[in-house]
């Protein structure tokens, strides 16, 4: 495997685990705010991010490439309102999309078609994650200021259940 592609794929393991950490922090914020449905939604999001990390990990191992695990950074954002959290979520997903695109670009440059095919799932996934993050912001804008509506939205998010990723390696 090309050294740059390898390095970026390895770094992505760490980025995805950081994403899981970040969403656990979001979940913790909402738990403390008494919004257990939002807390549930982000806890499941954290689980999905761990799955993403493991897919990169497994892909490198399947390709007989070394894996180097690095320290996971501490989530250090301080939120002053619910909307701050949701906006940080969208911003983070846009950042992850850029990372996936960078890996794809590096793989494309060296005609690493197998890595590109592996990444195709993540390209689609990032589209869904950005849509989800945007939907959360829209719903909060519409309903967040009314306690009864916020309660209903919290109930809706409480219904989210974990499903394993559709990509298996």
Cβ closest to ligand FEO, residue 28 vs residue 132: 132
What DSSP line would sit under 119-168, residue for residue?
Answer: HHHHHHHHHHHHHHHHHHHHHHHHHTTSHHHHHHHHHHHHT------S--
Task: For residue 110, give the DSSP letter.
Answer: T
Shortest Cβ 49–ligand FEO spacing (Å): 5
Closest C-alpha to 83, from 6, 136, 7: 136
Shortest Cβ 67–ligand FEO spacing (Å): 17
Report the alpha-carbon distance of residue 60 to residue 68 in Å, rounded.
10
25 touches ligand FEO (CB under 6 A) = no
Q: Report 67-126 residues binding ligand FEO (CB under 6 A).
A: 93, 96
Among 16, 37, 43, 157, binds ligand FEO (CB under 6 A): 16
List interacting residues with ligand FEO (CB under 6 A): 16, 19, 49, 52, 93, 96, 129
């Amino acid at each position: 495997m090309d050294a740059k592609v390898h390095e970026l794929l390895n770094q992505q393991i760490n980025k995805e685990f950081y994403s899981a950490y970040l969403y656990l922090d979001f979940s913790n914020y909402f738990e403390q705010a008494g919004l257990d449905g939002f807390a549930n939604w982000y806890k499941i999001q954290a689980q999905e991010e761990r799955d993403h990390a493991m897919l990169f990990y497994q892909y490198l191992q399947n390709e007989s490439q070394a894996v180097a695990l690095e320290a996971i950074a501490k989530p250090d954002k301080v939120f002053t309102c619910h909307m701050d959290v949701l906006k940080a979520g969208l911003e983070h997903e846009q950042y992850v999309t850029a990372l996936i695109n960078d890996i794809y670009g590096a793989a494309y440059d060296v005609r690493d078609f197998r890595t590109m095919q592996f990444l195709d799932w993540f390209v689609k996934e990032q589209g869904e994650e950005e849509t989800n993050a945007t939907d959360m912001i829209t719903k909060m804008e519409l309903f967040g200021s009314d306690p009864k509506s916020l309660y209903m939205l919290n109930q809706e998010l409480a219904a989210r259940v974990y499903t394993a990723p559709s990509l298996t390696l």
